[in-house]
Structure formats: C-alpha cells, structure tokens
Amino acid sequence: MRTRPSRRLKETSFNLRIDPALKAASTAATEAEDKPAAQVLRDFVRTHVERRERRVLEAGARRQSLEAAKLARDPNSDEHAVIREIEAELADESFWNE
C-alpha cells in the first residue's frame, strides 16, 4: 500500500525580538480583531514580499522602458525606424478613416 504525499507545505517557525510595548499593543489589536497574531504576521510578511517583488518588477520594466526610449532616439537603431513608421502611419489620413 502506497501512501500519498501530503500536499500541504511544511511550515517553519519564525522567532523575533520585539519591544514589550509594541507586543502588548499588537496583542491588544489582534485580540480586538479576533485574529491570531501568527495570522497577522503571516499576512504582513506575505504583503511585504509581494510589494518587494512588485517594486523589483517595476524597476526592471522602467529600466527596459528607458533603454527602449534611448534606442528610439538613436537614428541608427531599429527602434528609431519603427517609431518613424508608426508616426508615418498615424499621420496618414487614411489610417483614421478605416
């Protein structure tokens, strides 16, 4: 008889030091919201990681955009030629009457 592997990811502990006043305030807030402190911390960590990943992605997209804009200004680049083609199409009256 084969056992099925668990689909649930194994969890790990996260120990941290926290100012006693902040811990007391956090405990009061989580109790008022009827949420376990561990869930609030998991949500916080998840949100922090997602925001960080989004900032990294946005920074990469910005770098690529700036590089493409730089190339578009170079008259010898393919990007410059494509921009000129698009501008010519948009300037053509028949483009807007189709």
Domain parsing of the chain, residue ranges: 23-96
Q: What would the pLDDT profile of 18-66 be if each residue is shown by its tens digit?
A: 999 999 999 999 999 999 999 999 999 999 999 999 999 999 999 999 9
Mean pLDDT of 68-79: 92
Q: What is the mean pLDDT of the chain?
A: 91
Residue 1 pLDDT class (50, 70, 90 cuts): low
User: In this structure, how many other beta carbons lie within 10 angstroms of the beta carbon of residue 9?
Assistant: 6
Kindly report the pTM of this predicted structure: 0.63
Contact 30, 40 (CB under 8 A): yes
